[in-house]
Structure 1
Amino acid sequence: MAVVTMRQLLESGVHFGHQTRRWNPKMKRFIFTERNGIYIVDLQQSLSYIDRAYEFVKETVAHGGTILFVGTKKQAQEPVAEQAARVGMPYVNQRWLGGMLTNFQTVNKRLQRLKELEEIDFDDVAGSAFTKKELLIMRREKDKLSRTLGGIRDMAKVPSAVWIVDTNKEHLAVDEARKLGIPVVAILDTNCDPDLVDYQIPGNDDAIRAVTLLTRVIADAAAEGLIARHSGRSAASEGSAETPAEPLAEWEQELLTGKDAAATEGTAQAEPETAAPAAEAPAAAQPEAEVAESPAAEVAETEAPAVEAPATGQDAAPAAATEGVAEPAAADKPAN
């Protein structure tokens, strides 16, 4: 099933570009035609590029990565915040602060400051160790930090990829991502430079419906990647021996390597235990051999006395009578 249909792209106005006098010649290969002084984007190419970006985002999230959603223009602020929050990804929908990626250590300190201010109860003046003026100043500081850094509050490290709406307006984010080697996924209008983006999606970056549709597609890819990640963890925790079709991430390889090492140690411990009973087995077999040999000797002993065994019972009486009769007959016989 296709990620998005041609009809959805047409209804959202993804095919509308900028005026012909406002264009980047590098976007010529993505332009289908010109109509009423406006360029029309080739949606057939857009569909293929959407599928490519979708697979990349899904694989990145499935292997433990995060996607940073960036869209500070008015048309993109609400869709970016809504879709990123839906899948638990960081986002920037207000002003992009310089160094948000290249100087993340300093930005992270401001995030820690924001978390400290969030723990303060500004309404309880008597219970706090601050004056009203100090609380007012800290409240304003918290509001400012929440507005600019609230979307990346839980981002502990530099993201694995960046989703950008309008690369011309977000040129600072594009430059920082390229310096750090972070892949960039972005909507490319007819006035953008495709060489700055790793995963291009030709389309309209000015219409609210177009921005909402494409941002939702990227969020759906992230959601599918999260599902794949959690299913992989549950399978690993159950000790499943199935080999995944997708390449394993570093954290997955370490997890599986640790399990293999534990299994090897368990086998090594089990081998001495099985070897000990095996060593005791000959000792137990010796009595069986003696028992097997003893009946043969007893049979030989019982066969020998069987010939000399005296008669008993009724058989002995006739024998004695016969002897008694025979002996007198021999005595009464006259000698010649």
Structure 2
Amino acid sequence: MALRPWTTATRCLRRQRVLPCNAARTTHTAPNSNLESSIESPEDWHLMQENRARFKTLFDLFNQHGSTQTREKTFQPHHTLSRPLAPSQTTLSALVAAGAHFGHTTSLMNPNFLPYSFGTRAGLTIIDLEQTLPLLRRAASLVRAVAQRNGTIIFVGTRPDLQDTIQRASERLGPQGYHIGERWLPGTLTNRNQLFQEESHQYRLTPDLVVFLNPLANMNAIRECAIQHVPTIGIIDSNADPRIVMYPIPANDDSPRTAQIIAGVLSVAGREGVVARGEDQKTYQHQAHRILIKQALTGEGNS
């Protein structure tokens, strides 16, 4: 049986269409393209230069209306851990992106958490972030004030996914920051003289502020802080009573990203307090030095 002419192999092969050089050159031809590879005369060279100039003009024109965002400017998921926001830069959109508004099921909601509840959605309690943001900034102001007065701050997070968060948060405060990531030893504050017999006279064993990232798992630590009158900050979810800590921050305590953004904001505020304390010390030393110079010039010290 003879093959039909339109089913032969030569008819099925895709033939490449060859365009003439003059038809291929347009005002939108990009530089260094394949259409500029064949230059046979001085006219072709001038056409190529004109095309490049036109393309550059169009590129500069539309580039003014394009996006200027880069990787350093745009948000990345790891920025909440490595490059946290300052308290003044924290927004509701950042908290929503971290999932801070998701609470527990409505059956687990604590009655005392009702003022911080926005509503319910698909059986879950939605946390009102418009109250979370000012409470977070209030807690940041407290951390900044404590750090500025040379106070010690402890970050407590006893879940495995909170280890890096509390470690980096405490490192931003330098020697004034500490963290507990495995287990709060019972009696650390109430029985500190017996646990730290040799160090009880050399170091300050009572912290000035404690931040809890998962407070329900550290109720013993919260009780000891209450007995010793130590201020506490905690991320309070919908299944917890906001009154267990002095400065509650209503948010999702099960989300690692929420813990990262809250701990990052608080640690940045503490670092600002440490820097302000260093500047205050320099100002005090400068004033004291000026007073000594003035006394030496006037002769008040000799009399």
TM-score tier by shorter-chain length is: 0.5 to 0.7
Q: State the one-letter code of the partner of 2:134.
A: S
CA contact (8 A) 1:75 1:207 kept: no
Find 1:35's aligned residue among 121, 124, 127.
Answer: 121
Q: Structure 1: how far apart are the matches of 2:88 and 2:225?
A: 29
Cα distance change, pair 236–35 in 1 and its aligned pair in 2 (3 A): same
Higher helix share: 1
- Name 1:231's counterpart in structure 2: 279
Alpha-carbon RMSD across the aligned residues, in angstroms, is: 2.8
**100-109 or 262-271: which moved more?**
262-271
Deviation per residue, 1:16-45 (Å, 9 max, x gap): 111111121100000001011110100000
- Name 1:187's counterpart in structure 2: 235
CA contact (8 A) 2:156 2:181 kept: yes
- Where does structure 1 lack aligned partners over 5 or more consecutive residues? 113-153, 242-258, 274-336
CA contact (8 A) 1:108 1:156 kept: no
What secondary structure, in the 3-state scheme, does the structure 2 residue paired with 1:91 have?
strand
- Name 2:193's counterpart in structure 1: 105
Q: Deviation of residue 197 (structure 1)?
A: 1.3
Deviation per residue, 1:240-271 (Å, 9 max, x gap): 79xxxxxxxxxxxxxxxxx99x8999799629
What secondary structure, in the 3-state scheme, does the structure 2 residue paired with 1:17 have?
strand
- Name 1:6's counterpart in structure 2: 92
Q: Structure 2: how far apart are the matches of 1:39 and 1:240?
A: 57
Q: Give 1:1-336 correspondences, 5 Å limit.
A: 2-88=88-174, 89-109=177-197, 156-239=204-287, 270=300
**96-105 or 171-180: which moved more?**
96-105
Q: Structure 1: how far apart are the matches of 2:301 and 2:285?
A: 25
Q: Structure 2: how far apart are the matches of 1:177 and 1:22?
A: 26
Q: Structure 1: how far apart are the matches of 2:299 and 2:137?
A: 50
Deviation per residue, 1:38-92 (Å, 9 max, x gap): 1010000001101111111101110111111111022322211222123221110
Quick one: percent identity of the two aligned structures? 29
CA contact (8 A) 1:32 1:42 kept: yes
Q: Structure 2: how far apart are the matches of 1:239 and 1:174?
A: 42
Cα distance change, pair 221–171 in 1 and its aligned pair in 2 (3 A): same
Q: State the one-letter code of the partner of 2:111.
A: P
- Name 2:67's counterpart in structure 1: none
Q: Deviation of residue 156 (structure 1)?
A: 3.5
CA contact (8 A) 2:158 2:214 kept: no
Deviation per residue, 1:183-226 (Å, 9 max, x gap): 11111100111112111111011011111111111111110110
CA contact (8 A) 1:16 1:39 kept: yes
Cα distance change, pair 95–70 in 1 and its aligned pair in 2 (3 A): same
Q: Deviation of residue 94 (structure 1)?
A: 0.5
Cα distance change, pair 266–69 in 1 and its aligned pair in 2 (3 A): same
Cα distance change, pair 155–167 in 1 and its aligned pair in 2 (3 A): farther
Greater C-alpha radius of gyration: 1
CA contact (8 A) 2:295 2:301 kept: no
Cα distance change, pair 179–266 in 1 and its aligned pair in 2 (3 A): farther
- Name 1:134's counterpart in structure 2: none
Q: State the one-letter code of the partner of 2:178.
A: P
Q: How many residues align?
A: 214
CA contact (8 A) 2:172 2:268 kept: no
Cα distance change, pair 265–46 in 1 and its aligned pair in 2 (3 A): same
Q: State the one-letter code of the partner of 1:270.
A: E
